[in-house]
A and B are shown apart, each in its own frame.
Chain A
Amino acid sequence: MATTEVERKRGQLAALTIAVVVVVVGVPLWWRTTETYRAWLPVSQINELALLQLQLTVDVEVVFSRGTLTPEQQKKVPFTQTHDEEHRVDGDTTVRYRYESKYRTANIMEEDALKQPTAAEADLSLHTLSESPCGSVVVYVIPETSVLLPQDMDVYIGQRRAAVLRMGAPMRVGKNHKQLLAHLEPRVTQVVQVMSFSHSDITASLSDRLRLSPGNKESLADSMRSFKSSPGYEITFSLLNPDPKSHRLHWDIEGAVHSFIQPLITKLAPLANFSIDSQILYYAMLGVNPRFDSSLEAYTLNADSLAHVINPVEARLGSNAASSNPVLNFLLYVPDAHHSPLFIHDHKKRPVASNAFHSPRWGGIMVYNVNDLYGQETPFPVNININMAKVMGVFLAQLRLMLGMQSSSAPPGFLVEPCGSAGLADWELDRLMWSRTVENVATATTTITSLAQLLDQIGNIVINDNIASQVSSTVTSLQLAVAELEVGNLGFALQYSKEAILASERAFFDPSLLHLLYFPDDQKFAIYIPLFLPMCVPILLSLIKIASEARQRRKLKQSKKD
């Protein structure tokens, strides 16, 4: 009896020991060896970035020329003032604009410059005096009586980063220092909003982070026309000649690019890399048959059918084999001899002056009629030289739209100097840089937060060190970009935001993330069961047996006690 009891005890002990060994050694070992490698990610910092609090700081210098300040006011000058505006864009995003205004009086050279006969000359000579850093704005305040500006204009915005503001009538301004500020501040803010950014621009740039609500669709239309921010763009000019038998077209694209596009591109160099190429496509047809309008003696394309024009052409355009940057297409279509002239009509059936249209985030098409350049009896083929100035005027305007440089109409009373040979004023570039920086930051934060979420949700994904380093460099660059925005260093902020977006995209699209993603559970079990089932069932059964015996014994004891 005693020996069987001892034997039974020993058996129980053995079963328990095996169970313990399985749990203590086996399970951790199995866990360790089948674990996927997941490098450490700065999750807390990413979560911080998910709640984006942007602060954009603009340095504004307000320079009073002689005759704008009362002696009392002059005593207080120079001084600085900060003006904050806070907007809550949505639950996760807050934007705060800080205008750091520095008020001072003009020095002698600036006074001289402001005495130039026209505003444009004044702008130029002011520019030669001092160059203001990227992202800042200088506002020169001139007396009401100044003849620098036309009578009905109050503000002049030049080609650089300077604006001239006409002071209101002295009685409206008042004598007091406070009154002066009260008078000036809204107007200076208005100037800055034109020259740097307005709240609607910033909201549009942040659209990546925002959920689209039906209400703000229309306000986003402008922002959706332009291309998304990207480190580089490919600009492709294509001449479509559907009828090489009749028309021999020659276009001096190299010269045109050099004189019209290149200055703009050079100016935009800090924003992105541009590469330009051109091609001629023969026998490239439009997707729709234009309708003959006998009253005009011309073929017409309606606004409704424009939508179908591009697709068949696009197959011929070809993508850029050598890079993956977005492509901006500009097509010049010369209708064939039997279908010309060809005019584009708008929704109200009126012909469009430029005979061109554009498609958001794709590019533009211009129809160039050549039929009136040769007589009826001219033998085919005709050699035709295309007037590139006319063509490039249209393409340049379309390019500006595609890049998001829509010249939002200035408020009344503003005189905006037309941009010069570069095709882009300094402040327009600044404006673009502000919105691109904010857009980059928004995109990079969304990318990195969604990556973090994804990695968090799917435990099977291997996170190797390369991805971890990309993620942390994204986070660092993002933090730096936000910090630079906060102090108003626009150039650096853009630089860092570009780095952030590149790194975040490299991390997000890293092919190594896909390796172990797809493992159906049923197959895993198919492999585990032959081993686990025969091993675990005896252990479990003996454990159950031990437990039930123990319970019985306790019951027995209890009944004995009773």
Chain B
Amino acid sequence: MAAYRCECVGLLLFMLCTSFTVHIDADVHDYTTQVTDTESDVADAESVLVPDPPPAPLGTGGKQSPQEEVVVEAEVVEAEDGPWEATEVRGEVDDVGDDGDANDHRVVDGPSSTDDFKEELVIRPLSSGDIYASFQFRTVWDTDLTGDQKVSHYRLFPKSLGQVITKFSVRELHISFTQGYWRTMQWGQPYQPSPPGAELWVWFQDTVTDVDGTWKELTNVLSGIFCASLNFIDSTNTVQPSASFKPLGVGNVTDHRFLRYATLPREIVCTENLTPWKKLLPCGSKAGLSVLLKSEKLFHSTFHSQAVHVRPVCQDPQCRTTSLELRQTLNVVFDLHTSGQGKREWSLFKMFSRTLTEACPLASSSKVYIDMTDNPQGEQFELSPATPLLSQAVVLGDRRTYSVYDLTQQGTFGSTRSLNMLLRWKSAEGNMLRPLLHSERYVAGYGLQTGEIHTLMYNNHPYRAFPVLLLSTVPWYLRLYIHTLTVTSKGKDNKPSYIHYQPSKDRERPHLLEMLLQLPPNSVTEVTVEFERALLKWTEYTPDPNHGFYVGSSVISALVPSVVAMDTDSSPERPLFSSFFPCKEEASYFTRLYTEPLLVNLPTPDFSMPYNVICLTCTVVAVGYGSLYNLLTRTFQVEEPSPGLAKRIANVIRRMRGVAPL
């Protein structure tokens, strides 16, 4: 389009309209800057095109380029050794060579492996009748990828990810793809919270000098690895939160210059994202828990979230050396009505259309947990086959009881050699404790000029206040009026103890607002801020502009008092001496909550407008020019005024009479 615009600029300049020209000129300029922004990923894509792509291996099926044919033919010609060769081993191997054949091939005990793989599935029946399944695959590798020496030999850790971490000097990487919104009010807290769409946050090593450039390259590479549109992450949706996202692994870097955070709320997650995610697992989808991950069932659910977390963790209790931990998680909620046909009866086969037959042979631990907390005496639902193994853990501030199935034990699978747990409800109703913290967010106002963002945070704790960190990222095209920011709880002003606000720059960076708030007990805290909708340039609109523009979820990071600490005297099974003071470790727990993403309508122009403007302007110009031209070139002569009607009639009569006319 720029060419026409250029040309049309020329034409109009040639004629008269200067003001119009200036406008379009600015437009063109902007277009070019946009283009240079995308240059790097174009370059990435093009590296594939570099002149001589090595021909695919022999016999790539139907479409063979002539070059490959030559290769094949040539190889056939030298048929005495075929397309492959019995490779003669040269002398040097023996020279340097180690003990060769004398070497005993078997080792009695395998060499101490430096990496470890564990897999886990947690199933939690939700009080709404839905069921929540959460997979965790954890690979810990005792290595320091970030060190000076180059590590390039991979065993269980996926090579593609390892290379990315080494190349871009990544300290921590967290990426999640989510389809659907987690309903905290119905489902409680998830094990791994994630916002709808894609979320990526990365801590870089402090050796990285050009963090923005590295971030841009990293997002491009990751979008290739995960088949996602992460390449749309640019400076307009990247922020550097100052407090909300602290490193989750070891290391005390707190300089948020090395942190980048971006969300793509519009990203749609589907099979093409699941396949590369599964490829990162050592057992692929061939054995272990990952056989359950079939996309036709996983995506037939109300909530699906998959994530990859890479972080350094301590190798030993003293934390002298660090290991790299890769945690792949997948959370899915199956709906009572669409997946369960309305019957409160769940089994592995019903959820995943597969059953478990073996553990991944590479996993040092492979377990299935089923949350039995609400069902201590089996009055709510029954679980078959029953397992004697029970484990207790404090999860998200609550003491939970789990039935454990250990897949590494052959006995787990029983005589049928397959494990298919069945949960059958006895009573239909379920009740859930209201989550202590939940939130809502919406856009208020009317018209297409201004609006108001409301964020509501509910503290349902009966008597304790707790602090939350609220992070909102708002795109530049919603211009926030920060002076209208109000925070009220229980009808009173609630003054944030810390505010970090970074105003936006048009087409460069978004608004970033971080606040530390104290939520009073049993209250609703409302944060409102007004905004004005900007008018975009016509190339900046999405292909479906009337759908609206997404504003990513706000992030609420909170230290929530735990339920365990709450019911100090209502737990009969605990000894009295243990329950006078709430135990410090369990007093509160950290949680992160994502609000709904917003969908905001922006004033949308008629997109045929530019051409209409061109045509209209040209017509006006042509009409004006035509009149001027006529005036200048026509010859004017005085014409005899035509005689009046009476005169003409008189003349006719006179002619008939043969008299000379008047």
Residues of A within 8 A of B (CB): 3-4, 7-8, 10-12, 14-15, 18, 25-26, 29-30, 32-34, 36, 212, 217-218, 220-221, 224-225, 227-228, 236, 244-245, 248, 250, 253-254, 257, 259-260, 275-280, 282-283, 303, 306-308, 310-311, 314, 316, 318-324, 326, 344, 346-347, 352-354, 356-362, 364, 370, 373-374, 381-390, 392-394, 396-398, 401, 418-421, 423, 443, 447, 460, 505, 508-509, 511-512, 514-516, 519, 523-524, 526-528, 530-531, 533-535, 538-539, 542
Contact = CB atoms under 8 A, between A and B. Distances in A.
A-B pairs, 5 with minimum CB distance = A357-B84, A307-B59, A33-B10, A221-B74, A534-B622
B10 A310 contact: no
B166 interface: yes
B100 A322 contact: no
A447 B51 contact: yes
Given A282-B282, A389-B93, A512-B39, A311 B60 contact: yes
A62 B219 CA distance: 59
Contacts of A423: 90, 92
Contacts of B632: 11, 14-15, 18
B3 A387 contact: no
Contacts of B3: 34, 36, 460, 516, 519, 524
A515 B35 CA distance: 8
30 contacts: A4-B637, A11-B634, A228-B54, A253-B153, A257-B153, A279-B153, A280-B154, A280-B156, A306-B84, A310-B58, A311-B61, A320-B160, A321-B221, A322-B167, A322-B168, A344-B84, A352-B84, A362-B54, A362-B55, A364-B84, A383-B110, A384-B107, A419-B90, A420-B95, A423-B92, A505-B51, A515-B35, A524-B3, A524-B7, A527-B8
Contact of A527 (B7, B110, B168, B629): B7
Interface in B34-48: 35, 39, 42-43, 46-48
Contacts of B110: 248, 250, 383
Contacts of B159: 236, 277, 279, 318
Contact of A217 (B74, B152, B156): B74
Contacts of B94: 389
Contacts of B362: 244, 282
Nearest to B47: A324
B109 to A, nearest CB: 7
B279 A318 contact: yes
Interface stretch (B320-328, B465-473, B515-523, B613-621): B613-621
Q: Which of B10, B56, B58 has the most CB of A within 10 A?
A: B58
B166 A322 contact: yes
B152 A278 contact: yes
A4 to B, nearest CB: 5
Contacts of A245: 287, 358, 361
Q: Which of B84, B284, B632 has the most CB of A within 10 A?
A: B84
Interface in B97-135: 97-98, 100-101, 103-111
Given A307-B59, A383-B108, A321 B163 contact: yes
Contacts of A11: 632-635
Given A253-B153, A278-B154, A310 B106 contact: no
Given A418-B90, A509-B49, A519-B3, A535 B625 contact: yes
A509 to B, nearest CB: 5
Nearest to B6: A34
Contacts of A324: 47-48, 50
Given A14-B632, A221-B75, A389-B93, A360 B361 contact: no
Given A347-B79, A385-B104, A387-B101, 18 more contacts: A29-B13, A224-B74, A250-B110, A276-B152, A277-B152, A279-B159, A307-B57, A318-B158, A323-B167, A373-B105, A389-B93, A389-B97, A512-B35, A516-B2, A527-B614, A531-B622, A535-B625, A538-B633
Contacts of B614: 527, 530
Contacts of B444: none
A443 B51 contact: yes
Contact of A7 (B47, B156, B636): B636
A528 B615 CA distance: 9
B96 A421 contact: yes
Contacts of B630: 538
B385 interface: no
Contact of A250 (B71, B107, B156): B107
B246 interface: no
Contacts of B83: 303, 306-307, 357, 359-360
B93 A260 contact: yes
Interface residues of B, number: 112
A396 B279 contact: no
B567 to A, nearest CB: 47
A381 B107 CA distance: 12
B432 to A, nearest CB: 40
A501 to B, nearest CB: 9
B580 interface: no
A270 B160 CA distance: 28
Contacts of A527: 4, 7-8, 611, 614
Contacts of A385: 103-107
Contact of B361 (A244, A362, A447): A244
B70 A224 contact: yes
A468 to B, nearest CB: 17
B539 to A, nearest CB: 13
A36 B7 CA distance: 10
B84 A303 contact: yes
A259 B96 contact: yes
B51 A306 contact: no
B92 A420 contact: yes
Contacts of A509: 43, 46, 49-50
Contacts of A319: 160
A518 to B, nearest CB: 9
Contacts of B11: 30, 528, 531
Contacts of A36: 3
A526 B97 CA distance: 75
A14 B633 contact: yes
B103 A387 contact: yes
B505 interface: no
Nearest to A26: B14
A357 B283 contact: no
B340 interface: no
A337 B86 CA distance: 24
Contacts of B42: 511, 514
A148 B462 CA distance: 100
A221 B111 CA distance: 44
A316 B154 CA distance: 14
Nearest to B113: A250
A30 B3 CA distance: 13
Interface string B1-36: 011101111110111000000000000000000010
A382 B100 contact: no
B54 A534 contact: no
Q: Which of A7, A386, A509 has the most CB of B within 10 A?
A: A509
B286 A283 contact: yes
A530 B87 contact: no
Contacts of A358: 84-85, 87
Contacts of A32: 10
Contact of A386 (B52, B96, B105, B629): B105
Given A212-B70, A245-B361, A523-B4, A346 B82 contact: yes
Contact of A401 (B9, B85, B101, B621): B85
Contact of B633 (A421, A533, A542): A542
Contacts of B101: 387, 390
B661 interface: no
Contacts of A303: 82-84
